[in-house]
């Protein structure tokens, strides 16, 4: 097993009862749950969105990004998802990580302090060089997209 990648984290505000740091909930989980670091509650009406603070800033090592992803239970049971999913936190960003949560249901949803609202997945980033080319090699699929391969 390889050594874990170290990601430094800073709490951006103090609170008498700090929220737990994100952690993997199971041994093979890909993501860590992020919590809403809000005072009290925030209600999102149908089709409303808000940037929900997590209270954390992170320092990713070069060559990595953090992806913000929806939690499947919130999506299935309450119609909540991330508007820019997956959201990307770049390695050079040092501000507070916030989650753009949207309520796609027809019922209001109340977010409470400490509620798990998204997942954080740290992943390697590939850097590429773009080279302009007159003609690209052909493939069986060609230019077909947006459902061209069937259901």
Contact criterion met (CB below 8 Å) for 68 and 120: yes
Q: Is 88 annotated as a binding residue?
A: yes
Phi, psi of 72 (to 5 degrees): -65, -35
Domain spans in the chain, listed from the N-terminal domain onward: 31-124
CATH 2.60.40.420 fits 31-124, yes or no: no
Work out the number of other CB atoms within 10 angstroms of the CB of residue 34.
26
Contact criterion met (CB below 8 Å) for 52 and 42: yes
The pLDDT value given to residue 64: 97
Q: Is 138 annotated as a binding residue?
A: no
Q: Is 137 annotated as a binding residue?
A: no
> For the segment 112-151, what is each residue's pLDDT rounded down to a tens digit?
999 999 999 999 999 999 999 999 999 988 888 777 777 6
> For the segment 33-56, what is each residue's pLDDT rounded down to a tens digit?
999 999 999 999 999 999 999 999
Q: Is 71 annotated as a binding residue?
A: yes
State the virtual CA torsion across 30, 33, 34, 38 in degrees, nearest 10.
Answer: 170
Q: Is 84 annotated as a binding residue?
A: yes
Q: Is 73 annotated as a binding residue?
A: yes
The pLDDT value given to residue 1: 62
> For the segment 139-148, what is each residue's pLDDT rounded down to a tens digit?
988 888 777 7
The pLDDT value given to residue 99: 97
Q: Can you state the percent helix, strand and coil of the chain, rounding each to 5?
A: 5, 40, 60
Tokens (6 digits) for 130: 């773009």
Q: Is 121 annotated as a binding residue?
A: no
Contact criterion met (CB below 8 Å) for 125 and 132: no
């Amino acid at each position: 097993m390889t050594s874990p990648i170290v990601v430094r984290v800073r709490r951006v505000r103090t609170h008498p009862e700090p929220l737990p740091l994100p952690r993997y909930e199971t041994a093979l989980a890909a993501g860590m749950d992020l919590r809403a670091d809000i005072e009290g509650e925030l209600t999102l009406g149908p089709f409303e969105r808000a940037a929900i603070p997590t209270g954390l800033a992170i320092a990713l090592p070069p060559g990595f990004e953090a992806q913000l992803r929806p939690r499947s239970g919130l999506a299935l049971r309450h119609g909540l998802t991330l508007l820019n999913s997956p959201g990307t936190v770049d390695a050079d960003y040092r501000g507070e990580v916030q989650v753009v949560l949207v309520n796609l249901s027809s019922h209001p949803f109340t977010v409470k302090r400490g509620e798990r609202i998204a997942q954080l997945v740290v992943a390697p980033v590939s850097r590429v060089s773009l080279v302009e080319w007159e003609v690209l090699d052909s493939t069986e699929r060609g230019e077909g997209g947006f459902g061209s391969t069937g259901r």
